[in-house]
Chains A and B, each alone.
Chain A
């Protein structure tokens, strides 16, 4: 089935849909001093200040992504050596691993995701605050790698991934490269509309399990759904 990607190119700020020609003319008006008072103020608010602030925010966000302290398997050991003395990812501002998903901006899926773990990974992702990003590190959680079997599920099946890193396990340098890619992506501030298909637009509260009232179960999926999830 064809996937509708109509929203992807849609502008983030209002008024951006105006034709280029009209924008050009208004800019000329402003430079000539034809715009006054309220009109000028509206223009500045809309054009100059808003765009610059967005850029500043994106720049700041991109340079201080806090990864969640979240290790799954082999790749976690290589992820741990990232803030170490040799690579020192602190140079770029990504060294502050946060233990709580509420404080983290970036989830590095480092290792294989089993069908037992997948609902929990998704829950952690859902608990992170917007804007949030996810890196899938290594072959296992990108494509199941060598373990293409009954127990493993690729991360793309249940949550949106922004950057995939190949390797088994990838070198820490590869992960550093991925983080820098992610920085470029964050600073480019792309629309995140494609996350809609994962229903992962906003932060979610802990949801109870409808089947078992009173139990705040770990399974986000209903019972029985974990197979092949």
Chain B
């Protein structure tokens, strides 16, 4: 993990080449996080990849409800030579839930991006095959948003089966 100073150095580098891209840096529990502006995320990631963080370890979505902007995509990058990790965080509101795909940088982003689309409804531009991956094709809603009900049903036993709607006709 880069220490706090190393993180600032990386952030400064990014600020120099891509003005306005870095919104915030955070060093927490030994982990470095850079918050990045949504439209410049792809450029930042490309630059970090050239800088040595060449392995996309994880890509996941987070819903910060009730905070605003709500949705977020996290990219966990890994530098295998320096054994160094950095997290790039991109926050976005519900109505602008759209971000450039990093499929061209890492082909391995294919499934994770589809999962984020499936679970949070974040659209990845220029993704070659963006469709639902885990839920059925005709499912409506994005289950892992925090305002989506967790669902579930009462358990059927013989004594209560007639009370459960839709069970008997």
> Which A residues lie at the B interface, using CB under 8 A?
1-3, 115-116, 143-144, 148-151, 154, 156-157, 197, 223-224, 226-228
Which residues of chain A are within 8 angstroms of B155 by Cβ–Cβ distance? Answer: 143-144, 148, 154
- Closest A-B pairs by Cβ, 9 of them: A150-B151, A148-B152, A143-B155, A116-B136, A223-B138, A226-B136, A149-B151, A149-B150, A149-B152
Which residue from chain A places its CB closest to the CB of B144 in the assembled complex? Answer: A150
Q: Which of B144-166 contact A (CB under 8 A)?
A: 148-153, 155-156, 162, 166
The answer, among B140, B143, B166, for a CB contact under 8 Å with A151, is B143
Once the chains bind, are B143 and A150 in contact (CB under 8 Å)? yes
Interface size class of B (residues with CB under 8 A): 20 to 34
CB contacts between A and B, total, < 8 Å:
49
Task: Assess whether B162 is in contact with A1, with CB atoms less than 8 Å apart.
Answer: yes
17 contacts between A and B (CB under 8 A): A1-B162, A2-B162, A3-B162, A3-B168, A115-B139, A116-B134, A116-B135, A116-B136, A143-B155, A149-B150, A149-B152, A150-B148, A154-B153, A223-B138, A224-B138, A226-B136, A228-B166
Chain A residues near B81: list those with CB within 8 A: none
**In the complex, chain B residues whose CB is within 8 Å of the CB of A151:** 135, 143, 151
- Which secondary structure dominates chain B's binding surface? loop
Q: How far is the CA of A179 from the CA of B93 in the complex (A)?
A: 54
Q: Which of A3, A150, A224, A226 contacts B150 (CB 8 A)?
A: A150
Q: Which residue of A lies closest to B148 (CB)?
A: A150
Residues of B within 8 A of A (CB): 134-136, 138-140, 143, 148-153, 155-156, 162, 166-169
| Nearest-neighbor residue (CB-CB) of A224 within chain B | B138
Q: Smallest Cβ distance from A222 to chain B, in angstroms?
A: 9
Residue of B134, B143, B155, B169 most packed against chain A (CB within 10 A): B155
Q: A1-B169, A2-B162 are in contact. Are A144 and B152 (CB under 8 A)?
A: yes
Closest to A116 in B: B136
Nearest-Cβ distance from residue A149 to partner chain B, whole angstroms = 5
Chain B residue at minimal CB-CB distance from A223: B138
* Complex contact B151–A156 (CB within 8 A): no
Contact partner of B156 among A115, A154, A197, A227, CB < 8 A? Answer: A154
Which chain B residue has the least Cβ–Cβ distance from A118? B136
In the complex, chain A residues whose CB is within 8 Å of the CB of B149:
150
CB contacts (< 8 Å) of A148 on chain B: these are: 151-153, 155
Partner pick for B168 among A1, A115, A223, A226, CB 8 A cutoff = A1
Given contacts A1-B162, A116-B136, A226-B138, 5 further A-B contacts (CB under 8 A): A115-B139, A148-B153, A150-B143, A154-B156, A227-B139
